[in-house]
Amino acid sequence: MSVSAQDVKALRDRTGAGMMECKGALEEAGGDAEKAVELLRVRGQAKAAKRGERQAAEGTIGHYVHFNGRVGALVEINCETDFVARNEEFLNFAREIAVHVASAAPRWVSEDDVPDDELARERTIFEQQADSDKPEEVRKKIAEGRLRKWLEEVVLLDQKHVNADRHEGRTIEQLRADLSAKTGENVVIRRFARFAVGE
Amino acid sequence: MSVSAQDVKALRDRTGAGMMECKGALEEAGGDAEKAVELLRVRGQAKAAKRGERQAAEGTIGHYVHFNGRVGALVEINCETDFVARNEEFLNFAREIAVHVASAAPRWVSEDDVPDDELARERTIFEQQADSDKPEEVRKKIAEGRLRKWLEEVVLLDQKHVNADRHEGRTIEQLRADLSAKTGENVVIRRFARFAVGE
């Protein structure tokens, strides 16, 4: 069965699990949200405490422009209190995300932000690319793997930070979670803008 | 008669005259583009040399964040050559526009960017607000005057620079034209982004 993007989003909000996990669980549960939560719990994909539910309305604007002035980025990072918003580590994080956005040119903040039709289009392409000799089931798996790889290239939270030396190949989501744990507050990358001259 | 937004845009591109002037001329000319150009020429509203036609693909990214880190802006300013893109006056202009955007919070760069339905909605509101005792013609004029005022509040090029002391109440378009004249190149404010924390 096919599940709606809204249902997947609602399940994500409830459980904090990934988009693909939520979609899979909903499909397996025949669209039954309660059953899907159960499935995610069993698999340990539902987060016990969902920090994301606490309001993150404070924060800072991070910015960065490459020395040649041809590429720039602006990001909004939210936290829960003004205290953390003025914390040096938090401000550094905002700057590091802006540096990353300028270089890595993500298209969306999170997987939730990828428009349904764009996701469907990519999935179709990957399914068509998969070797037609293989059974349907195998082809679908290959396509899902490629879709995951694509998401890791275009979604900010799924990207590895461009400064690999400093961040040991960690994703932006991992860095965000680290900061959230350190500060004890929900940290949200709300939005970004990236301009490159003439692009 | 009513003229299409495309026709107005085409006339603007040809003549460099303002949106309202082009719309008026087209209406007066019964939709005949050649006649409308003529009308604008007669009135001196068509610019003799239309600098805007020359490609402006070089430039710089200007940025600014308020000292409290809660409001930030990013702008792309284009010019024609790398030489001007590295010119100090040009870079200052980019910064001044970013400062202005952060404070004045425009919604669009130029009148052309205001969506047709938004413009129609505002016009209807202003027409309804105008005193119903007055004749239709007078009410329309009052509404157009208010629409113009509204555009001066929400359109970047129509706004007066926030630093009135320094810029003597000149509009962003006037400052842009000054820089264009000084550098001898087409200068274009291509786009901007403005983030305010929690907004």
As a whole number, mean pLDDT of residues B175-199 equals 94
Predicted confidence band at A4 (pLDDT cuts at 50, 70, 90)? confident
- The verdict on a CB contact (< 8 Å) between B193 and A197 is no
Q: CB–CB of B62/B98 below 8 Å?
A: yes
In this predicted structure, the answer to whether residue A192 has a pLDDT above a threshold of 90 is yes
- The verdict on a CB contact (< 8 Å) between B65 and A69 is no
Q: CB–CB of B72/A61 below 8 Å?
A: yes
Asked if A16 is an interface residue toward chain B (Cβ–Cβ < 8 A), one would say: no
d(CA A85, CA A31): 40
As a whole number, mean pLDDT of residues B6-10 equals 85
Measured between CB atoms, which of A60, A65, A72 is closest to B69?
A60
d(CA A129, CA A150): 14
Q: What residue in A sits closest to B56 (Cα-Cα)?
A: A198
DSSP letter assigned to residue A157: G
- The verdict on a CB contact (< 8 Å) between A61 and B78 is no
Query: DSSP assignment of B87-147, as one string?
Result: -HHHHHHHHHHHHHHHHH--SBSSGGGS-HHHHHHHHHHHHHHS-TTS-HHHHHHHHHHHH
d(CA A90, CA A73): 17
CA distances from A64 to A99, A199, B86, B95 (A): 6, 17, 18, 13
Asked if A98 is an interface residue toward chain B (Cβ–Cβ < 8 A), one would say: no
Q: How do residues B106-131 score in pLDDT, each as one tens digit?
A: 999 999 999 999 999 888 888 887 77
d(CA B193, CA B146): 26
Q: CB–CB of B111/B18 below 8 Å?
A: yes
Kindly report the number of other CB atoms within 10 A of residue A171's CB atom: 17
Asked if A83 is an interface residue toward chain B (Cβ–Cβ < 8 A), one would say: no
Question: Nearest-5° angle of CA A162, CA A165, CA A169?
Answer: 60
User: Strand A188-196 to strand A58-65: parallel, antiparallel, or no bridges (unpaired)?
Assistant: unpaired
In this predicted structure, the answer to whether residue A45 has a pLDDT above a threshold of 60 is no
Least confident of A53-57, B84-88, B187-191: A53-57
d(CA B18, CA B47): 10
End-to-end CA distance of chain B: 41
- The verdict on a CB contact (< 8 Å) between B198 and A72 is no
Whole-prediction pTM value?
0.72
Asked if A198 is an interface residue toward chain B (Cβ–Cβ < 8 A), one would say: yes
Predicted pLDDT at B45: 57
Q: CB–CB of A71/A195 below 8 Å?
A: yes
